[in-house]
Amino acid sequence: MPNDKKASTSTKSAIQALVFDAYETLFDVSSVATSLEQKFPGQGAAVSAAWRAKQLQYTWLRALTGQYEDFWKVTESALVFVCNDMKLHVQGGLQVQPAPVERAARAKLMDAYLHLEPFPEVKQVLQSLSAQRLAILSNGTLAMLQGVVENAGLKKVFSQIISADEAKTYKPNPAVYELAVGKLGLDKHKIGFVSSNFWDVAGAKAFGFRTYWVNRSGAPEEELGVRPDATLRSLSDLGSDSF
């Protein structure tokens, strides 16, 4: 799939900062499957996929209903639901909820979110963009984001790590994208936003960011009435000539 570049030279030159989504863009959330497989042999990948889907669903539902809880709690709640829904048991036949031993097992699985693996191209791409102002804007709590960034060896890469927790809601609510404008001190049209989640790209585009969709799987665009400014096969396509 070719790199889809439509921006004019004047638009490209206006970009003064690149803001990255974290989960599924920089960090592979499916890498938690290794820890899950140890607890639930033969079901690690399935649990990982269901966990991520429920995690996102809970962010949207909590944003819509105004019943905010931070992303760490949302992530844990999603894990509990999936384990109950799939009738999973930790090794030794103990149910995941609610005894103290099960809470300890949950804590260990949750810790995997602080050690997500970056996608293979991430470190090299970010190094190549070191002359640019780089930031993260994510639903994750600040502690979660700082943890995964440090554990991935990327601590000194980003000028800002911005958590939706400050807005007490979740993407794609415009209030979350507005955080980047305030933190970076830039007009929204001077910010490029990079995400592998099309719904996130759609929210950022509607807000006014220039958007880059990292479409690693070759998926079709969602029918949401907006299109990304550029579609990339991986972060490796995000060269200096992209903005």
CB atoms within 10 A of CB 223: 6
Residue pair 198/221 in contact (Cβ under 8 Å)? The answer is yes
Domain that holds residue 158: 4-26+119-242
Task: Single out the catalytic residue among 4, 21, 111, 200.
Answer: 21
Do residues 102 and 74 share a domain? Answer: yes
Which of 90, 114, 138 corresponds to the end of one domain?
Answer: 114
Q: Note the pLDDT tens digit of each residue in 66-119.
A: 999 999 999 999 999 998 898 886 544 444 444 433 777 888 899 999 999 999
What would the two tokens of residue 206 be? 């509607």
Which of 114, 147, 167 corresponds to the end of one domain?
Answer: 114
93 versus 28: which is more confidently predicted?
Answer: 28
Do residues 195 and 100 share a domain? Answer: no
Known active-site residue 21: yes
What is the chain's alpha carbon radius of gyration, rounded to the nearest angstrom? 18
Do residues 157 and 227 share a domain? Answer: yes
Q: Note the pLDDT tens digit of each residue in 180-206.
A: 999 999 999 999 999 999 999 999 999
Scan for tokens 């109950």, then name that residue.
84
Residue 87: DSSP 8-state: T
**What is residue 100's three-state secondary structure?**
helix
Give the integer Cα–Cα distance in Å for 5 and 84.
Answer: 45
Conformational region of residue 42, where left means phi above 0, alpha means psi within -120 to 50, and beta covers everything else: left
Residue pair 200/174 in contact (Cβ under 8 Å)? The answer is no
Number of domains in the chain: 2
Q: Note the pLDDT tens digit of each residue in 40-57.
A: 899 999 999 999 999 999
Do residues 147 and 230 share a domain? Answer: yes
Give the integer Cα–Cα distance in Å for 227 and 181.
Answer: 21
Question: Does 235 have pLDDT greater than 80?
Answer: yes
